[in-house]
Structure 1
Amino acid sequence: MEQNTTNTMQAVVCHAPKDYRLEQISKPVARANELVIRIGACGICASDCKCHSGAAMFWGGESPWVKAPVVPGHEFFGYVDSVGEGAEEHFGVKVGDKVIAEQIVPCEKCKFCKSGKYWMCEVHNIFGFQKDVAEGGMAQYMRIPKTAIVHHIPESVSLEDSALIEPMACSIHTVNRGDVQLDDVLVIAGAGTLGLCMVQVAALKTPKKLVVIDMVDERLELAKKFGADVVINPSRDNAKEIINGLTDGYGCDVYIETTGVPIGVTQGLDLIRKLGRFVEFSVFGAETSADWSIIGDRKELDVRGAHLGPYCYPIAIDLFERGLVTSEGIVTHDFGLDDYAEAFALADSTKSIKVLLKPVNG
């Protein structure tokens, strides 16, 4: 496909909650040590849907996370279209390379960045949420700032797999946070995109039992295909009874919460054993409450958060390249930018798992 030689491009632009528009905007220009990539595909994340609907965590308070107007999208990959002065040496890439940038753009100056914990950067610019700093992938092209973390993607990795690298990297980090052991009974709550990626990663860890909980039978069937030993639909199954039956009544060793709804938290506190490891990944649309005495006085739980996919992108890329994980069955739909509204509506439903936007580039 020929390079776009015009100065404009098509993009979805977020102006406010429920105010997203397809616009013709200026094509980004690479400055010193920067790249411009041509987008291959961009996934719609659950956080994108929550941002679209107006969840308080994105829009609330004196300093909202979203700096609109902004082009959304952080689950992208693309091809190097143009390079600024010094960028080829800076990133180790050349025009035409297939690449992905991690979703966070570290400031490289705060205490977390300087100590190697860049994913907790105090400034915390994420692609697709802050205008002019890190605009996102729901466009034909996007600029990659000089402090971004860029990785090569082998040509053998399919478009769908490439678009799932970001969720897979997050899933690897989350499962690693669970410190899964060979004799563990591991429960993953939620079989959406992230949950199903976590199932694949967790299966590679070969726990004693891998249990997946979700309300959608089709997703549970996919979880079994990916290595789940036991699946539970709480609308008809007694999760507590099943987990107790697998653990001599003690409860699961590790519980990973990726439902994004409050019941996923309270369910986990009930199902997990004393001294268990509870890993929280989800982005919630509202505050969640629980009886904290369970965490301390009753069970002395080890509660761990999981944020982004630090140091896990190369691992995700390698696992896709070796065929040890897959997007097959997870990527269910794709749309052009013209149909972004339909794509968002479908992504925010149980009728899809992962929905991709695939720009048509000139």
Structure 2
Amino acid sequence: MKAALLEGINKLRITNVPTPKCKQGEVLIKVGVCGMCRTDMKAYMYGQRDLRLPRIIGHEIAGTVVEMGEGVTQVKLGDRVQVAPGLPCGSCSYCLQGLHHMCDYVQIMGFHYDGGFAEYVLVPNNGVSCGVLNKIPEELSFQEAAITEPLACSINMQESLQVGLGDIVIIFGAGPLGILNAKLAVARGANKVILIEINENRLAIAKNREFHYCVNPLQTNSIKEVMEVTGGRGADVVIPCCPDPDVVGTGLAMLSKRGRFGFFSGLMMNFGSIKVDFNLIHYKELRVYGAYGCSSLHNRTAVEMLVTEKVKVKDMITRCIQLEEVISGIKMIADMKEMKIVINFE
């Protein structure tokens, strides 16, 4: 089968590798579409903490079941499925709580196991038994289904923050995850969604969506503008969806009393110190939540939201490429030239 094999930093080649064969409990997926994201870009350009090389990367996978090992009952041949990329052990204390993404022994497709930048991907026994394969109906395209995982990550964050009816929500960053979080906040009943973005192209696109305010902090005092929009109260929720460390302090300053701050995006490498007035947390009783990745349940919830169109993502897919174009796709992600890029194998 044809695959994009990452062998080291800036060393990725399109090559032929053996098509995996199913052992007991395993499932082989013919990849229909695999999404691309900044994590793939980081793996290629800088390396990644969990990456084990050489590796076929790619973790936003949707495709069709074409082979099953003995004992598989969760799916059948021909099923259209989305693959939740985290492969939990299923038996540790976190797994038993349903927190598969917090599993002490979690393995990740595209990092520990070969991922979706290939014509076929093998889902190991522990992933199949822990429910990482989510069936998708014909009416949901593989392109849309490939956005399940980033939406699931957003669901993990917003469930922790309890984003809900009447909330004023600030999103830093109008990239793919910023837009997904903004769409999700609207779906969860937020009263106002305020997007803060310095990239004018992304800001212009965001202004044509269903959000309430779009702010460029390079052109205005964003804290002052948020206070004007909220009648001096501040926001209920702030979610940075960008790696800029400066937004931590700015975001905390925008919160109302008892506001919630979601630590969603990892910060850029070698960021040094962060200027934060931690007394704000004390005096305003702010609450700070972290969120990393997503569980199998988050992925199932995301699939349901896509199928029912509570969150619509078709308008986010701005570039569909072939596997041979994967390096140019990575460079487009780095240059922020597209909203969402997917690799099409159909």
TM-score past 0.5 threshold: yes
1:18 to 4, 10, 13: 10
Quote how far apart the aligned CAs of 1:224 are: 4.1
Q: 1:334–1:343: 8 Å Cα contact kept in structure 2?
A: no
Quote how far apart the aligned CAs of 1:102 are: 0.8
Deviation by residue 1:129-151 (Cα, 9 ceiling, x = unmatched): 11xxx210000001001121111
Q: Could you tell which deviates more after superposition, 144-153 or 301-310?
A: 301-310
* 2:216 matched residue in structure 1: 233
Question: Over the residues paired in the alignment, what is the CA RMSD in angstroms?
Answer: 1.8
Quote how far apart the aligned CAs of 1:111 are: 2.1
1:317 equivalent in alignment to 2:300: no
- Cα gap change, 1:295 to 1:12, in 2 (>3 Å): farther
**SS class of match (1:95):** coil
Quote how far apart the aligned CAs of 1:221 are: 4.2
* 2:68 matched residue in structure 1: 83
* 2:133 matched residue in structure 1: 150
1:329 equivalent in alignment to 2:281: no
Quote how far apart the aligned CAs of 1:341 are: 1.1
* 2:105 matched residue in structure 1: 123
Quote how far apart the aligned CAs of 1:219 are: 2.8
1:293 to 278, 281, 285: 278
- Cα gap change, 1:172 to 1:116, in 2 (>3 Å): closer
Deviation by residue 1:310-333 (Cα, 9 ceiling, x = unmatched): 322222222222223222331111
Quote how far apart the aligned CAs of 1:295 are: 5.3
Within 5 Å, give how 1:168-183 maps onto structure 2. 168-183=151-166
Q: 2:249–2:277: 8 Å Cα contact kept in structure 1?
A: no
1:346 equivalent in alignment to 2:325: no
1:303 to 288, 312, 317: 288
Quote how far apart the aligned CAs of 1:220 are: 3.0
* 1:44 matched residue in structure 2: 36
1:247 equivalent in alignment to 2:237: no
- Cα gap change, 1:320 to 1:297, in 2 (>3 Å): closer
Q: Give me the whole-angstrom Cα distance separating, in 2, the residues matched to 1:295 and 1:85.
A: 57
1:97 to 79, 101, 110: 79
Q: Give me the whole-angstrom Cα distance separating, in 2, the residues matched to 1:320 and 1:214.
A: 26
Q: Give me the whole-angstrom Cα distance separating, in 2, the residues matched to 1:193 and 1:309.
A: 16
Q: Give me the whole-angstrom Cα distance separating, in 2, the residues matched to 1:359 and 1:158.
A: 13
Residue correspondences, number:
339
Q: 1:222–1:329: 8 Å Cα contact kept in structure 2?
A: no
**SS class of match (2:236):** strand
Q: 2:60–2:116: 8 Å Cα contact kept in structure 1?
A: yes
Q: Give me the whole-angstrom Cα distance separating, in 1, the residues matched to 2:125 and 2:77.
A: 16
Q: Could you tell which deviates more after superposition, 268-277 or 285-294?
A: 285-294
Q: Give me the whole-angstrom Cα distance separating, in 1, the residues matched to 2:40 and 2:334.
A: 9
Q: Give me the whole-angstrom Cα distance separating, in 2, the residues matched to 1:116 and 1:169.
A: 14
Q: Which amino acid aligns with 2:250?
A: Q
Q: Give me the whole-angstrom Cα distance separating, in 2, the residues matched to 1:266 and 1:169.
A: 26
Q: Which amino acid aligns with 2:119?
A: Q
Within 5 Å, give how 1:215-230 maps onto structure 2. 215-230=198-213
**SS class of match (1:138):** coil
Q: Which amino acid aligns with 1:304?
A: Y
Q: 1:192–1:353: 8 Å Cα contact kept in structure 2?
A: yes
Q: 2:20–2:121: 8 Å Cα contact kept in structure 1?
A: yes
Q: Give me the whole-angstrom Cα distance separating, in 1, the residues matched to 2:26 and 2:278.
A: 50
1:136 equivalent in alignment to 2:121: no
Q: 1:47–1:283: 8 Å Cα contact kept in structure 2?
A: no
Q: Which amino acid aligns with 1:109?
A: S
Q: Give me the whole-angstrom Cα distance separating, in 1, the residues matched to 2:103 and 2:10.
A: 28
* 2:197 matched residue in structure 1: 214
* 1:114 matched residue in structure 2: 96
Q: Give me the whole-angstrom Cα distance separating, in 1, the residues matched to 2:21 and 2:280.
A: 50
Q: 1:332–1:354: 8 Å Cα contact kept in structure 2?
A: yes
Q: 2:245–2:268: 8 Å Cα contact kept in structure 1?
A: no
Q: Give me the whole-angstrom Cα distance separating, in 1, the residues matched to 2:106 and 2:277.
A: 29
1:262 equivalent in alignment to 2:245: yes
Q: 2:187–2:311: 8 Å Cα contact kept in structure 1?
A: no
Q: 2:281–2:287: 8 Å Cα contact kept in structure 1?
A: no
Give the TM-score, by structure 2 length.
0.92
Runs of 4+ in 1 over 4 A off after TM superposition: none
Deviation by residue 1:48-95 (Cα, 9 ceiling, x = unmatched): 11122215xx2xxxxx521101110111111001111112x1x2x111
Q: 1:269–1:294: 8 Å Cα contact kept in structure 2?
A: no
Q: Give me the whole-angstrom Cα distance separating, in 2, the residues matched to 1:173 and 1:79.
A: 26
* 1:61 matched residue in structure 2: none
Quote how far apart the aligned CAs of 1:110 are: 2.3
Q: 1:200–1:226: 8 Å Cα contact kept in structure 2?
A: no
List alignment gaps of at least 5 residues for structure 1.
1-8, 59-63
Quote how far apart the aligned CAs of 1:108 are: 1.7
